[in-house]
Amino acid sequence: MRRTRRHRVVRMNLDGTSRGRSDVLAGEEPMELRVDGRAWTVTMRTPGEDFDLALGFLVSEGVVWEADHVAAVGYGPGVNADGTLSYNVVDVRLAAGVAPPDSSHERHVYTSSSCGICGTASIDAVTRASRFPLADDVRVPLAELLAMTERLRERQRLFADTGGVHAAALFRLDDAGRAELVCLREDVGRHNAVDKVVGWALRERGLPLRRCVLQVSGRASFELVQKAHMAGIAVLAAVSAPSAMSVDLATEVGMTLVGFSRGDSANVYAGAERIV
């Protein structure tokens, strides 16, 4: 129920007519992430797959990269005004010997839904090197790549209801280059959708995501490239444009970055050798 909410709106037309109707809105609530009981960051997200979101975020920050690094994950003691559990606090307990996040990288302000790196202590906090080398032998047939956009759109159920969320889909390639959709997540924040995919992969002991393509519904920002890199994803494709900084980062780390991937064409901004 918290993923969407109905709201009464007035539909107004240029011909002077109007009528009331019920509209479906995407849910958006704050989620506080705690590590070993210590508050670390707050992000605005669409409720759902909260544990995956928390784990994916920790992968992106370089805190964990194996499922065994996590001892437990659960909801914290946050409560609503009426005393019921809010389910807006997630506490991740690290396994023995796993270093907690560097306090110098603590996030003291809200992470917004549109820009995941807002509030970081410095740019160094999101450009740390991945522990997973990117696969050089990945080859993606262009036809398979272009088909991912439509396959993503067909599965965007929350977007179909609200028109107000982003999506990230993980496709796994077989030896013949055929792509299988293995995970899709939606959220008001594009970076959250990616974290939810990566967190799922961590729980499934699937990292690094070597023979995979990450397809996202909107633009390709710097942080999406960074998150894909940290998960060992060699190919990131977006429906819309990349930013200049995302292209620079993809080039620097050896990723393939594709933009405007839709219809019968795509722009390859970095790593064109992986697209055949």
Q: How many CB atoms lie within 10 A of CB 99?
A: 10
Please identify every residue annotated as catalytic: 115
Residue 13 lies in a domain: no
Burial of 4 (0-12, 13-18, 19+ CB in 10 A): middle
Check whether 107 has a pLDDT greater than 60: no
72 with 194, same domain: the answer is: no
**Which range marks the domain in which residue 247 is found?**
142-274
151 with 263, same domain: the answer is: yes
Structural contact between residues 260 and 241, judged by C-beta atoms closer than 8 angstroms = yes
Give the C-alpha separation, 27 to 32, whole Å: 16
- Nearest Cα residue to 214 out of 164, 179, 247, 252: 179
195 with 248, same domain: the answer is: yes
Structural contact between residues 190 and 221, judged by C-beta atoms closer than 8 angstroms = yes
Q: Which pLDDT band holds residue 19 (cuts at 50, 70, 90)?
A: very high
Q: What is the pLDDT of residues 173-220, one digit of tens each?
A: 999 999 999 999 999 999 999 999 999 999 999 999 999 999 999 999
Q: What is the pLDDT of residue 97?
A: 95
Q: What is the pLDDT of residues 20-39, one digit of tens each?
A: 999 999 999 999 999 999 99
Q: Kindly report the CATH number assigned to the domain that includes residue 213.
A: 3.40.140.10
Burial of 248 (0-12, 13-18, 19+ CB in 10 A): middle
Q: What is the pLDDT of residue 128?
A: 56
Burial state string for 74-88 with b = 16 or more CB within 10 A and e = fewer than 16: eebebeeeeeeebbb
Percent of the chain with pLDDT over 90: 81
105 with 196, same domain: the answer is: no
- Cα–chain center distance at 247: 18
Averaged pLDDT of the chain: 90
Lowest mean pLDDT among 121-125, 146-150, 241-245: 121-125
Check whether 1 has a pLDDT greater than 50: yes
Global model pTM greater than 0.85:
yes
Tokens at residue 18, please?
A: 């109007």
Lowest mean pLDDT among 3-7, 10-14, 30-34, 126-130: 126-130
Check whether 8 has a pLDDT greater than 70: yes
Residue-wise DSSP of the chain: -TTEEEEEEEEE-TTS-EEEEEEEEE--EEEEEEETTEEEEEEEE-SSSHHHHHHHHHHHTTS--SGGGEEEEEE-S-B-TTSSB---EEEEEEPTTPPPPPGGG---SEEPSS-TTTT-S-GGGG-PPPSSPPPSS--B-HHHHHHHHHHHHHT-HHHHHHS--EEEEEEEE-TT--EEEEEEEEESSHHHHHHHHHHHHHHTT--S-TTEEEEESS-B-HHHHHHHHHTT--EEEESSPBPHHHHHHHHHHT-EEEEEEETTEEEEEE-GGGB-
107 with 176, same domain: the answer is: no
Residue 221 lies in a domain: yes
**Cβ-based neighbours of 160, under 8 Å, separated by 6 or more:** none
Check whether 102 has a pLDDT greater than 80: no
78 with 34, same domain: the answer is: yes
Q: What is the pLDDT of residue 103?
A: 64
Residue 4 lies in a domain: no
Choosing from 124, 158, 185, the residue where a domain stops is: 124
Tokens at residue 56, please?
A: 């994916």
Give the C-alpha separation, 97 to 78, whole Å: 28
**Amino acid of residue 233:** I
Give the C-alpha separation, 66 to 205, whole Å: 7
Q: Kindly report the CATH number assigned to the domain that includes residue 43.
A: 3.10.20.10
List, in sequence order, every residue forming a beta bridge with 136; answer none if it has no partner.
Answer: none
